[in-house]
Amino acid sequence: MKALTGPKNKLQLARQLGIDWKAVDGHIRKLVSYGLVSEVAVVGTCRLYAITQKGQCALDLVSEIPGCIDQTS
């Protein structure tokens, strides 16, 4: 979720994270189902995703746990 600093599509996320876009697809589907990420735009077959307020709250909570999330990246 930290990679969603702004709206991005699955290919952009895959390149940024250095993983296969199919892996990103599975993760995005799960995050959307929990309401942590939402689809914010559709351009042709390209869908853009962004973190929701609920997702940002979850990241904020986790970042308060020492050693849980790298604070520098």
CA distance 45 to 54: 26
Residue 35 lies in a domain: yes
Residue 4 lies in a domain: no
Residue 71 lies in a domain: no
CATH number reported for the structural domain that contains residue 23 in this entry: 1.10.10
CA distance 63 to 65: 5
CB atoms closer than 10 angstroms to residue 32: 15
Residue 68 lies in a domain: no
The count of structural domains within the chain is 1
Residue 38: which domain range? 10-63
Quick check: 72 pLDDT over 70? no
Q: What digits encode the pLDDT tens for the residues 12-71?
A: 999 999 999 999 999 999 999 999 999 999 989 999 999 999 999 998 888 887 766 555
Query: For the chain, how big is the Rg over CA atoms in Å?
Result: 13
Q: Check: pTM over 0.85? Answer yes or no.
A: no
- 38: which strand partners? 50
Residue 24 lies in a domain: yes
